[in-house]
Amino acid sequence: MSKGRALALSAGIVTIATLSGRIFGFAREMVIANKFGASAETDAFIVAFTIPNIIYSLVVMGALSASFIPVFSGLLANDDEEEAWRLAHTILNLLLIAFGLIVAALMVFAPQVVLLVSPGFGSSGEQLALASSLLRIMAPALVFLGISGLMAGTLNSYNHFATPSLVALVQNVIMVAAIIFLAKRMGIYAAAIGFLAASLCQVLIQLPALLKRRLPYRAVLDLRSERAKSVAKLFLPVLAALAAGQSNLIVDKWFASFLETGSISYLNYAFKVGSLPLNTLVAAIAIVLFPTLSRQAATRDMEALRDTISLGVRIIAMVAVPASVGLFVLSKPIVGLLFEHGAFGPTATVATATALAAYSFGLVAMGLNMLLIRSFYALHDGVTPLKASLVFIVLLIALDIVLVRPFAHVGLALGYTIAVSVMALVMLGALRKRLQGLDEAKLLVSFAKTSLAAVVMGVGAWFTASYLGATLAGGTKLAELTVVGVAIGVGALLYLGVLVLARAEEITIIRRLISGKISGKQVAADNA
């Protein structure tokens, strides 16, 4: 199998597994919305759930993966597997110690941590107590998540993507089952217990694949090795950059905690819907390309690196631009279909849909950031993303202060969209300067074709949804599913049709990669 086809197949496997995980993630959100609505209980759970997840995302999936994979992949590329695994065991042991201490701190100081994230909870003793109890249940999951994340990074370095891509699916299936079977007896605590159990299962499903590649665990902590120092040198700036870049998860909840009850839930549901195309197709592209980018950077093949990034930007735009238009046009019917049942009423639907419309404008920037950040990390540059992230957080706070009063929770979504777009522009400009160009002419032509196709798609989807909405008026879920499904189908056909008529090069490249008619090197040559 050619290298190009192998990458395309890997991206396809990751996409399918990730999409399945996201579908069950939505099932989880739908079950929570049905059982508890946009209530004080739901707000408390979201805040408690966010705390261990953001620590995991920043430290493991973000900073550690970004600093560990380039070094680990570089060692494998240079046939030094023994040193690579000594590094992996060192990082694992350090992670266990650090996360053990963090878990202990979270359990002891749970109320104080909750108030840092959502100070508005201080006016409600019951909500603060509930969020603190939920946090204490979920905090130990950090240890399992840390091990799972390191396993995933190691397997990805071996170009094994299938098993790590299943962890989200396993987590969400277990959480959905826990809520369905335990919520009546345990209330919102069922979701917290499900999360803890699911985190352990993430480790168990990856263990067999990892053991095939190496002997079991070794108690080594070689912090003085040059490889460990290389990881540490990149880790801190990456962590700082990601902390700033993901600060919206804390900043928006901080402001929203002072708004009406349910505002945190509105933003959470809207962001989850908006993130679906990014966390499936776009994330798959970025995840699969990262080890390739790391190897190209390690071997100083800058021309191939530049071509890979340029193609990645164009393909991501080809996915994110229509997703942005589609979610804006169909925000209300999509939210109504997914969440409006049980305790989640029409008022919550409108509030969530308006937030989704505001978030939709930032999808292109969010998708590009996934690739741009990894591109800098492949170059062992954590400083540039840090600077861009600092611009993001300063701008986000300023915009939230200005927009929250006139627009409430929608203002927070708009502030995020503007700030993340500026961050993407800053990084794109810096990367263009670093690589002495990114084939700007080809990028502009591709973006123009993609935008034209997306506009045609949006108009077609809007007219289809409007017509069917009036024709099938009745409020049943089948009618809502028909409206959304047909509108998306019509829009997708129009989008692809315009791209084919416009002879979009990316369509041809993807088709040839999948068919195996060209290799990864030929793609680079075709795009040079």
392 vs 7, more confident: 392
Predicted pLDDT of residue 65: 72
Q: In angstroms, how far is CA 360 from the centroid of its own chain?
A: 15
Predicted pLDDT of residue 144: 94
Predicted pLDDT of residue 11: 61
Q: Once rounded to an integer, what is the mean pLDDT over residues 142-167?
A: 85
Predicted pLDDT of residue 523: 44
Q: Do residues 170 and 115 lie in contact, with contact meaning Cβ atoms separated by under 8 Å?
A: no
Please check the confidence at residue 516 and state whether its pLDDT lies above 60. Answer: no
Predicted pLDDT of residue 473: 64
Computed over every residue of the chain, the mean pLDDT equals 83
In the block, residue with structure tokens 């430290």: 59
Q: Do residues 372 and 403 lie in contact, with contact meaning Cβ atoms separated by under 8 Å?
A: no
Predicted pLDDT of residue 103: 96
Q: Do residues 131 and 42 lie in contact, with contact meaning Cβ atoms separated by under 8 Å?
A: no
CA distance to 213, 361, 432, 464, per residue, from 491 (Å): 45, 18, 33, 9
Cα–Cα distance measured from residue 291 to residue 302, given in angstroms and rounded to the nearest whole number: 15
Please check the confidence at residue 472 and state whether its pLDDT lies above 90. Answer: no
Please check the confidence at residue 193 and state whether its pLDDT lies above 90. Answer: yes
- Among the residue ranges 87-91, 121-125, 127-131, 197-201, the one predicted with the least confidence is 121-125
Please check the confidence at residue 128 and state whether its pLDDT lies above 50. Answer: yes
Predicted pLDDT of residue 518: 43
Q: Once rounded to an integer, what is the mean pLDDT over residues 422-442?
A: 87
- What is the identity of the amino acid at 469? G
- Alpha helices (runs of H) in 299-382, residue ranges in sequence order: 302-329, 331-339, 346-360, 363-378
289 vs 376, more confident: 376
CA distance to 226, 227, 234, 291, 301, per residue, from 86 (Å): 12, 9, 18, 19, 27
Query: Strand, coil or helix: what is 11?
Result: helix
Q: Would you report the helix, strand and coil content of the chain in percent, each value rounded to 5?
A: 85, 0, 15
Please check the confidence at residue 520 and state whether its pLDDT lies above 50. Answer: no
Predicted pLDDT of residue 522: 44
Q: Once rounded to an integer, what is the mean pLDDT over residues 522-526?
A: 45
222 φ, ψ to 5°? -95, 80
111 vs 214, more confident: 111
Predicted pLDDT of residue 6: 58
pTM > 0.75: yes or no? no
Predicted pLDDT of residue 527: 47
Q: Once rounded to an integer, what is the mean pLDDT over residues 418-447?
A: 88
Predicted pLDDT of residue 325: 96
Task: Considering only CA atoms, give the Rg of the chain.
Answer: 23
Q: Once rounded to an integer, what is the mean pLDDT over residues 261-273?
A: 88
What tokens appear for 332 in the block? Answer: 């209300």
336-385: pLDDT as tens digits? 988 888 778 889 999 999 999 999 999 999 989 888 888 887 787 878 88
Please check the confidence at residue 80 and state whether its pLDDT lies above 90. Answer: no
Q: Do residues 111 and 128 lie in contact, with contact meaning Cβ atoms separated by under 8 Å?
A: yes
Please check the confidence at residue 283 and state whether its pLDDT lies above 50. Answer: yes
- Among the residue ranges 9-23, 419-433, 488-502, the one predicted with the least confidence is 9-23
Q: Once rounded to an integer, what is the mean pLDDT over residues 95-109?
A: 94
Please check the confidence at residue 441 and state whether its pLDDT lies above 70. Answer: yes
Cα–Cα distance measured from residue 392 to residue 15, given in angstroms and rounded to the nearest whole number: 28
Q: Once rounded to an integer, what is the mean pLDDT over residues 286-299?
A: 70
Q: Do residues 370 and 286 lie in contact, with contact meaning Cβ atoms separated by under 8 Å?
A: yes
Q: Once rounded to an integer, what is the mean pLDDT over residues 75-92?
A: 80
Please check the confidence at residue 514 and state whether its pLDDT lies above 70. Answer: no
Percent of the chain scored above 90 by pLDDT?
Answer: 35
Cα–Cα distance measured from residue 467 to residue 427, given in angstroms and rounded to the nearest whole number: 42
Cα–Cα distance measured from residue 43 to residue 107, given in angstroms and rounded to the nearest whole number: 20
Predicted pLDDT of residue 345: 84
Domain ranges of the chain: 39-246
